[in-house]
């Protein structure tokens, strides 16, 4: 048993979908969520910069005494996961691999689609991870640059539906039976994806698969918290606590009490 | 639901430990086991030859109408898994990746030991698979050339204990807390490993982890058999059915009824 909290970070509030799935799966665990709002988004930045930011943020969580860190962000995982694992003493779980594994397990026709941000699709990490597990699987990846801004704007309208249909078209054309939704924002428009792909396509959400990976890891290591208790979450952001709270409450559908601010300067000084 | 059997192959009888774990995990499934006894062992052969043999054997299972194939053999997985996955329409699950994943989940100090045959250790596949999942994990691998012949001879004596202690020593020296037993023969001397490593070391057996991977895969694909039924296993060998039955009954502690012979020539002709 281990009473320490689990640390989760993202460049912004997208990782809150991962936090949500973690709370559903492990209601007895405590969580510390740190959003790097001041430097959000990570996606368009050079890899070296993402690595530096991710290492500052993850190191801050480690110094705070977490037992495991979740990189709840595709850009941070793609650019920085191996570096974080080399530099930190606590285990670091990223997105990407859990979804790829789930997709290989789930597909029947071995045709897998990936919808993700441009940076994630360009990194080729999903296709690599899938083909490491099944060299015969066909992977079709489509970059969806319009979706994150539309989701953050909060308007679910005809334009959003049209965009999802447009991105889904190349996957439907080659009859994939499993689709990895490889961005932490996408669970927020789950009903749209469900309608566009229909019942016969298996949708794999990174948030769910990552939560499952974290739960299995705690269990295998024997470092779960006591199961009878109810966990709590503490929120930190490098950006505006008000903005984080507003976006966060919409993402989680959960009243977020206090959000504490962590200065970028503080993170940089700690790292120096 | 899918009533087709699961195909399992190995160069000999070692894969029967995988079959055993599969039966324990999925008692409602049917299995077809094919041992390539006439060409056993695969380990010392060149990779190209292992690939040809594995493809012949796995293709024979596929033609027999299985819904999934398990390469229950480290040598075949290391040399031929990607090729099998490219060439066959049915999904192929190998050993190696499931154990590496389990070890990364289980270790607390991120120091992982591997005990396996010379060919498996030389291939570096376990170290690669572990470090793909945790770039900061330290892996110490030790080749154990004496163990398979000793286990097949069936004598558990002082020499076997001394050999296990000798192979374990370098792992204990660097205080690994998790050991991958990366050969399908090793579950047969589980008590010896347990005594040598003690309660505080987590032992990861490839047979168990592979069975878990197969069960998850069937569930995710929705191709499990009906849960209320009791499954059956059919045995085939390219070698001597009598030898297979003798070795097999010792490996499985289960009376093996009939073992049917498949000719090498038949496999080669099918493949041509």
Q: Which domain holds residue B48?
A: 6-95+209-271
* Shared domain check, B201 and B103: yes
Per-residue pLDDT at A247? 84
Q: State the DSSP string of chain B.
A: ---PPEEEEESSSTTHHHHHHHHHH-TTS-EEEEE-GGG---TTS-HHHHHHHHHHHHHHHHHTT-SEEEE--HHHHHHHHHHHHHH-SS-EEESSHHHHHHHHHH-SSSEEEEEE-HHHHHHTHHHHHHHHH-TT-EEEEEE-TTHHHHHHHT--SHHHHHHHHHHHHHHHHTT-SEEEE-STTGGGGHHHHHHHH-TTSEEEEHHHHHHHHHHHHHHHHT-PPPTTS---EEEEESS-HHHHHHHHHHHHSS----EEE--HHHHHHHH-
* Contact residues, chain B, for A93 at CB < 8 Å: none
* Contact residues, chain B, for A134 at CB < 8 Å: 85, 91-92
The answer on pLDDT for A257 being more than 90 is: no
The answer on pLDDT for B48 being more than 90 is: yes
B86: in domain: yes
CATH code assigned at B17: 3.40.50.1860
Q: What are phi and psi of A114, to 5 degrees?
A: -130, 125
pLDDT in tens, B25-39: 999 999 999 999 999
A13 against A93, higher pLDDT: A93
pLDDT confidence bin for A240, thresholds 50/70/90: very high
* Shared domain check, B119 and B192: yes
Question: Are the beta carbons of B105 and A216 separated by less than 8 Å?
Answer: yes
A262: in domain: yes
Minimum mean pLDDT range among A92-101, A170-179, A238-247, B247-256: B247-256
Question: Are the C-beta atoms of residues B123 and B78 closer than 8 Å to each other?
Answer: yes
- Mean pLDDT of chain B, nearest integer: 94
Ramachandran sector of residue B233 (left: φ over 0; alpha: ψ -120 to 50; beta: rest): beta
A182: in domain: yes
B47: in domain: yes
pLDDT in tens, A40-71: 888 888 999 999 999 999 999 999 999 999 99
| Greatest CA separation for chain B | 52
Q: Nearest CB to B135: which of A85, A106, A107?
A: A85
- Mean pLDDT of chain A, nearest integer: 94
- Check CB contact of A137 with chain B, cutoff 8 Å: yes
A57: in domain: yes
User: What is the average pLDDT across A24-40?
Assistant: 95
pLDDT in tens, A102-151: 999 999 999 999 999 988 899 899 999 999 999 999 999 999 999 999 99
B1: in domain: no
User: What is the average pLDDT across A7-21?
Assistant: 92
The answer on pLDDT for A254 being more than 80 is: no
* Contact residues, chain A, for B220 at CB < 8 Å: 102, 105-106, 202
Q: What percent of chain B has pLDDT over 70?
A: 100
| B73 is an active site residue | yes
Q: Which of A130, A219, A221, A223 to mutate to test the interface with B (most CBs of B within 10 A)?
A: A221
* Shared domain check, B55 and B102: no
CA-closest candidate to residue A13, choices A254, A224, A243: A243
- Check CB contact of A134 with chain B, cutoff 8 Å: yes
- Check CB contact of A109 with chain B, cutoff 8 Å: no
* Shared domain check, A119 and A81: no
The answer on pLDDT for A89 being more than 90 is: yes
* Contact residues, chain A, for B92 at CB < 8 Å: 134, 136
User: What is the average pLDDT across B99-116?
Assistant: 97
Give the residue from A173, A206, A239 where a domain finishes: A206
- Catalytic residue numbers of A read 73, 183
Q: What are phi and psi of A93, to 5 degrees?
A: -105, 135
Number of domains in chain A: 2
* Shared domain check, B106 and B72: no
pTM of the model: 0.88
The answer on pLDDT for B91 being more than 90 is: yes
* Shared domain check, B117 and B171: yes
A1: in domain: no
Burial A114-127 (b: 16+ CB within 10 A, else e): bbbbebbbebebbb
pLDDT confidence bin for B41, thresholds 50/70/90: confident
Q: Nearest CB to A97: which of B85, B133, B222?
A: B133
The answer on pLDDT for B255 being more than 80 is: no
pLDDT confidence bin for B256, thresholds 50/70/90: confident
* Shared domain check, B200 and B214: no
Give the residue from A157, A180, A206 where a domain finishes: A206
Alpha-carbon distances of B63 from A110, A160, B33, B218, rounded to whole Å: 19, 46, 14, 19
CA-closest candidate to residue B22, choices B233, B222, B192, B194: B233
* Contact residues, chain B, for A223 at CB < 8 Å: 108
Question: Are the beta carbons of A85 and B132 separated by less than 8 Å?
Answer: no
The answer on pLDDT for A155 being more than 90 is: no
The answer on pLDDT for B14 being more than 90 is: no
B180: in domain: yes
Question: Are the beta carbons of B105 and A217 separated by less than 8 Å?
Answer: yes
* Shared domain check, A136 and A47: no
| Greatest CA separation for chain A | 52
pLDDT in tens, A195-227: 999 999 999 999 999 999 999 999 999 999 999
Q: How many CB pairs under 8 A join A and B?
A: 65
- Check CB contact of B100 with chain A, cutoff 8 Å: no
CA-closest candidate to residue B9, choices B56, B70, B50: B70
Q: Nearest CB to B106: which of A86, A107, A220?
A: A220
Question: Are the beta carbons of A135 and B81 separated by less than 8 Å?
Answer: yes
CA distance A77 to A93: 9
Q: Is the peptide bond before B41 cis (omega within 30 degrees of 0)?
A: yes
CA–CA min distance B203, chain A (Å): 11
CA distance A137 to B49: 24
* Contact residues, chain B, for A85 at CB < 8 Å: 134-137
Give the residue from B186, B206, B226 where a domain finishes: B206
Question: Are the beta carbons of A81 and B135 separated by less than 8 Å?
Answer: yes
Question: Are the beta carbons of B108 and A221 separated by less than 8 Å?
Answer: yes
pLDDT in tens, B62-88: 999 999 999 999 989 999 999 999 999
Per-residue pLDDT at A152? 85
Which residue of chain B comes nearest to A68, CA vs CA?
A: B108
The answer on pLDDT for B100 being more than 80 is: yes
* Shared domain check, B223 and B173: no
Among candidate residues B22, B40, B73, B144, the one labeled active-site is B73
Which residue of chain A comes nearest to B83, CA vs CA?
A: A135
* Shared domain check, A106 and A117: yes
Q: What percent of chain A has pLDDT over 90?
A: 80
Question: Are the C-beta atoms of residues A2 and A223 closer than 8 Å to each other?
Answer: yes
* Shared domain check, A193 and A142: yes
* Shared domain check, B143 and B87: no
Q: Nearest CB to A91: which of B132, B134, B221?
A: B134
Alpha-carbon distances of B154 from A29, A147, B148, B253, rounded to whole Å: 47, 62, 10, 13
Per-residue pLDDT at B152? 85
Question: Are the beta carbons of A136 and B81 separated by less than 8 Å?
Answer: no
Provide ipTM, 2 decimals: 0.82
């Amino acid at each position: 048993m281990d009473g320490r909290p689990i640390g989760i970070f993202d460049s912004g509030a997208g990782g809150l979908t991962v936090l949500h799935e973690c709370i559903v799966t492990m209601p007895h665990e405590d969580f510390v969520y740190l959003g790097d709002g001041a430097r959000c988004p990570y996606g368009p930045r050079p890899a070296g910069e993402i690595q530096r930011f991710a290492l500052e943020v993850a190191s801050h969580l480690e110094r705070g005494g977490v037992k495991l860190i979740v990189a709840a962000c595709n850009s941070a995982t793609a650019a920085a996961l191996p570096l974080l694992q080399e530099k930190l003493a606590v285990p670091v779980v990223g997105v990407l691999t859990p979804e790829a594994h789930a997709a290989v397990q789930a597909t029947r026709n071995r045709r897998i689609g990936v919808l993700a941000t441009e940076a994630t699709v360009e990194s080729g990490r999903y296709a690599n991870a899938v083909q490491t597990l099944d060299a015969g699987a066909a992977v079709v990846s489509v970059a969806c640059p319009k979706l994150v801004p539309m989701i953050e704007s909060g308007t679910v309208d005809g334009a959003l539906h049209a965009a999802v249909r447009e991105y889904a078209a190349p996957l439907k054309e080659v009859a994939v039976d499993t689709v990895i939704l490889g961005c932490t924002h996408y669970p927020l428009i789950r009903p749209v994806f469900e309608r566009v792909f229909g019942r016969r396509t298996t949708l794999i959400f990174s948030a769910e698969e990552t939560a499952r990976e974290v739960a299995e890891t705690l269990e295998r290591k024997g470092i779960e918290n006591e199961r009878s208790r109810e966990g709590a979450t503490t929120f930190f952001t490098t950006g505006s606590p008000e903005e984080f709270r507003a976006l966060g409450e919409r993402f989680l559908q959960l009243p977020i009490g206090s959000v504490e601010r962590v200065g970028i300067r503080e993170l940089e000084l700690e790292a120096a």
